[in-house]
Structure 1
């Protein structure tokens, strides 16, 4: 018995079909395979997937891959409009096919379904099951759901709820041979009134975008702006401008709230902008000179970093000194007590600290949000005005930069993920990672935040292509925030041979420099 005959035998047991139109022709899926029909949703585009993939959508808390059926069937493309619909089919995991218009649900006599062997159509014959002939001479082509899926997404049909790649659910970053050294100080730098400051990264829990407004609290301490809701927890928010005695400005999209830990609780600090993650050698960090470490706010500066041969000075702040006044400490402790009471009233929502969450650096590429584990990020720096171009290298290698005396290969992450290049602008940053033992920089459109994400919203990414499954291993589905983060597997960004080439480029540059001395 052929596959078509097996499919026909199964369809005879269920003779209901969902019919739809594409390019003026009528097609159908067996009703038993259709879960639901929805309007075209907003999608998050996924790099390295097949051309037919529109992106990932949120379907009531589940990740839904959305596929352009015209593209699957090699048809001429058309813009989506009010009649466009997505037919969600059961493929072990839900999968949505975009069609021009849904026509109806029909019931037929099983004898009216004929095999598609001799049928000529605009779609490939290998995705046809059969043809339904009506009394008026019209024909409806029945498509093979499994064949469509298998032809586009290797491995997706094999996925089942609860399955998935073990490596995808527990990603591990490359160990940094230098991370265990105590020779560097890790900092998050930010700007206030044009001046650059920094906080030790171990005191920063996360960095989030400032909301449009903060709920003001009457009779609050002078530095406290109010409170915000941070994933169901009350977070007191303090203005760094008020801490420094500067005028407070309205919240803007570029403002960030740095969530820091104090012995009395947790507080969010509003910064004008967050600039970089820095890894600074200790020999470039000096205590604040005694002549300026006197009374008043100056004592909030713990030390000073001398970067770029002293042309750039970054003041390192002490979190505890910033909030040393009794009224602010009492205010923060009061919010913690209120929040603990609220949490205890919600059964089943125990605070397990970091145990139930993961911390990610979130960045943007082509309007979509990606994330990497914060432990994999060495630092985040600005893109220099000029890069040393490397001839005869990979297309995605942008060049080399001098990072405090070390040669750093720089990759255009858009190009590496198959996206169009973007012109350089002030928002772009280089995220420095360790891959294959080589420190490598990746240019991203912008760095958005450091986000703390609950493990309950993390799930394996659909296996839409072999390379995509390796690089984009998981998805953080955040429907309440109307967001979906694509989690990047750092050690898969460069293949072993590509990482070796990057290391070789650095060695060649160093050798040439030494030869010229």
Structure 2
């Protein structure tokens, strides 16, 4: 059908072209100049928190296409899709597909034959009408206003249409601003060792991977290096942060993460107890380590200290070079790099920002759709206990509290939070423990699928179809070769500030007395 449209792209100045289609037995039209193409009904990924008319997101030759029910936009009863169902892709600032019952034809008419909307009566809302085309046979075709249809359902998309239809997003609109903003902030990856919080500058971190069940030990290896792991065909020497700090080295646990850092001559993996979050700290909150402390041997690994939450939270910023400043450690790591060069000649590709060209996500399912969160925000994944501590007069989506090794953990039903229907508990469900604003919160998901490594080239901003959806579902990983689309959840937007504060107050109020009974 789209080939036929291309054939009539050359317009006569004395005529106007329209694409006509049917809905509920009536004939309607869009101006031809607004139609990009017409496709069959594609497979769609359902998106929570969007307008009711949104059917989902589809892959259109590598681009994410929001697909909308035109019946629902026009307050008509929904209808099942069949072989005649089509999607008319229009220019709405970003491509937008309207589902119609059937496409009829492309017609050329005299503009004078279109009667304005004010002169006709219709069962449709008059604010989405342009006018009516009357044929010689007495048939009428109602012309719909594309912009008003978009604006009535998707105000955020309508706002994107600037001069000439140029797309403006939060990412592009502020493109000139982040440089100054970043100059005034320090970006860090924070982690915990023995209950103490530390951080590394993000430009020194290539990537973060989950610790394997074991590390391959090498005979006659030095005491500072735990061993090696395979990282995409390369041998990566691994050091324990506990070892660097002179603490007892504990067996690897599921919550452990390996932070891959750049070092002169190569890279090294450092095992952390847990990785907490990515911090952006204004420089005025970062102070150098006092000289009286900096001269005390081992602690010279600490370069500065961040004073967060009015000084109640102190994060020690480490220097990679100082961590491995010992000649013995450098010699040991150099030995591993020499062995690695003999076994593999494939160089490690490092992106300009030092974090590589991939991002790591924990993928989980709700209904039949796949969602993902940044692995850095995930502290651990646990089973849903048989009993939760119910909290009266709490938020609708708060399921209760869990005793997590002696600490109170608020648990949220993520289906309810995203406006999906509740479901019965089953063995596949898990609680994904996330770090939000420095506090832990558990989110019940239908199942956890995998930890996926996704190339940055397939990540794109999610269409902003509603204010809340735009905040929570920030990006989309479009994987057409796998016939998958991952909806990337912005963790810090899952709970509003007041909701997070309320959860913290509930945890504090419950205290040890309630936990003792669990």
Superposition TM-score tier, normalisation by shorter sequence: 0.5 to 0.7
What secondary structure does 2:410 align onto?
Answer: strand
Contact 1:80–1:100 (Cα < 8 Å) also in 2: yes
For the residues of structure 2 that align with 1:184 and 1:178, how far apart are their CA atoms? 16
For structure 2, list consecutive stretches of 5 or more residues without a partner in the other structure: 1-10, 197-205, 217-227, 237-246, 253-272, 274-339
Task: Work out which of the residue numbers 190, 194, 203 in structure 2 matches 1:183.
Answer: 194
Aligned match of 1:459: 460
Contact 1:12–1:110 (Cα < 8 Å) also in 2: no
For the residues of structure 2 that align with 1:481 and 1:459, how far apart are their CA atoms? 17
Contact 1:206–1:449 (Cα < 8 Å) also in 2: no
Contact 1:427–1:445 (Cα < 8 Å) also in 2: yes
Note the C-alpha offset of 1:151.
0.3
Give the alignment of 1:501-512 within 5 angstroms: 501-510=502-511, 512=513
Aligned match of 2:169: 164
Give the alignment of 1:25-174 within 5 angstroms: 25-159=26-160, 163-166=168-171
For the residues of structure 2 that align with 1:515 and 1:336, how far apart are their CA atoms? 55
Does residue 1:265 correspond to 2:276, yes or no? no
Change (3 A) 1:106 1:264: closer
Change (3 A) 1:386 1:260: farther
What secondary structure does 1:181 align onto?
Answer: strand
For the residues of structure 1 that align with 2:437 and 2:121, how far apart are their CA atoms? 52
Aligned match of 1:423: 424
Deviations 1:108-132 (A, max 9, x none): 1111101011322231111000000
* TM value normalised by structure 2: 0.66
Change (3 A) 1:152 1:263: closer
Q: Relative contact order (C-alpha < 8 Å, sep 6+): which is higher?
A: 1
Deviations 1:72-104 (A, max 9, x none): 000011100000000000112100000000000
Change (3 A) 1:286 1:107: closer
Change (3 A) 1:11 1:490: farther
What secondary structure does 2:66 align onto?
Answer: strand
Deviations 1:407-450 (A, max 9, x none): 00000000000001121111111111122332100001111111
Deviates more, 1:442-451 or 1:113-122: 113-122
Deviations 1:180-203 (A, max 9, x none): 331169xxxxxxxxxxxxxxxx99
Contact 1:410–1:442 (Cα < 8 Å) also in 2: yes
For the residues of structure 2 that align with 1:286 and 1:76, how far apart are their CA atoms? 60
For the residues of structure 1 that align with 2:91 and 2:409, how far apart are their CA atoms? 47
Change (3 A) 1:334 1:447: farther
Note the C-alpha offset of 1:178.
12
Deviations 1:237-286 (A, max 9, x none): x9x9xx9xxxxxxxxxxxxxxx963597269xxxxxxxxxxxxxx99956
Aligned match of 1:324: none
Change (3 A) 1:446 1:164: same
Contact 2:406–2:515 (Cα < 8 Å) also in 1: no
Note the C-alpha offset of 1:452.
1.5
Number of equivalences: 380
For structure 1, list consecutive stretches of 5 or more residues without a partner in the other structure: 1-9, 186-201, 208-237, 244-258, 268-281, 288-304, 306-331, 344-348
Aligned match of 2:487: 486
What secondary structure does 1:424 align onto?
Answer: coil
Change (3 A) 1:481 1:127: same
Note the C-alpha offset of 1:162.
6.1
For the residues of structure 1 that align with 2:93 and 2:516, how far apart are their CA atoms? 60
Aligned match of 2:373: 372
For the residues of structure 2 that align with 1:12 and 1:97, how far apart are their CA atoms? 27
What secondary structure does 2:477 align onto?
Answer: strand
Aligned match of 1:228: none
Note the C-alpha offset of 1:140.
0.0
Contact 1:131–1:141 (Cα < 8 Å) also in 2: yes
For the residues of structure 1 that align with 2:66 and 2:343, how far apart are their CA atoms? 42
Does residue 1:432 correspond to 2:443, yes or no? no
For the residues of structure 1 that align with 2:385 and 2:170, how far apart are their CA atoms? 39
For the residues of structure 1 that align with 2:385 and 2:160, how far apart are their CA atoms? 44
Contact 1:428–1:444 (Cα < 8 Å) also in 2: yes
Deviations 1:293-346 (A, max 9, x none): xxxxxxxxxxxx9xxxxxxxxxxxxxxxxxxxxxxxxxx999955x67xx9xxx
Give the alignment of 1:308-323 within 5 angstroms: none
